[in-house]
């Protein structure tokens, strides 16, 4: 494997993050509960991780601002426009996943 310098590695990781966020912004049909059930993380997790990273650097980033960066719009607007009610099956799968030891 080719050796990658730390700066280039960070740039690559940042590009991947931006591409993931852009992808999730276009896939509004994919609900957060589906992401949680299949992958164990969702858009809210990404925004929380972004806020945690900012906090770690001492940068002022609110939860709402982090969510807006991930969702591409204010969270309340995304929720009103795209979020659907979770089905009983989705809720059961989520509850089962949360009960599993990690």
Mean pLDDT, range 22-33, rounded to an integer: 96
* pLDDT of res. 98: 82
Task: State the pLDDT confidence band at 102, using cuts at 50, 70 and 90.
Answer: low
For residue 66, how many other CB atoms are within 10 A of its CB? 22
Residue 6 to residues 1, 12, 18: CA-CA distances in angstroms?
15, 10, 18
E strands in 1-90 = none
pTM assigned to the model: 0.86
Cα–Cα distance between 22 and 45 in angstroms, integer? 15
List the chain domain ranges.
6-99
Radius of gyration of the chain (CA): 16
pLDDT in tens, 64-98: 999 999 999 999 999 999 999 999 999 999 998 88
C-alpha–C-alpha distance, residues 50 and 63, integer Å: 9
CATH topology of domain 6-99: SMc04008-like fold (1.10.3340)
């Amino acid at each position: 494997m080719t050796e990658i310098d730390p700066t280039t590695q960070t740039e690559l990781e940042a590009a991947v993050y931006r591409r993931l966020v852009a992808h999730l912004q276009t896939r509004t049909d994919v609900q957060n509960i589906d992401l949680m059930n299949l992958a164990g993380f969702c858009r809210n997790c990404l925004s929380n991780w972004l806020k945690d990273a900012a906090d770690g650097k001492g940068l002022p980033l609110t939860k709402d601002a982090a969510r807006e960066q991930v969702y591409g719009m204010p969270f309340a607007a995304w929720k009103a426009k795209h979020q659907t009610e979770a089905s009983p099956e989705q809720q059961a799968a989520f509850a089962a996943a949360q009960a599993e030891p990690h």
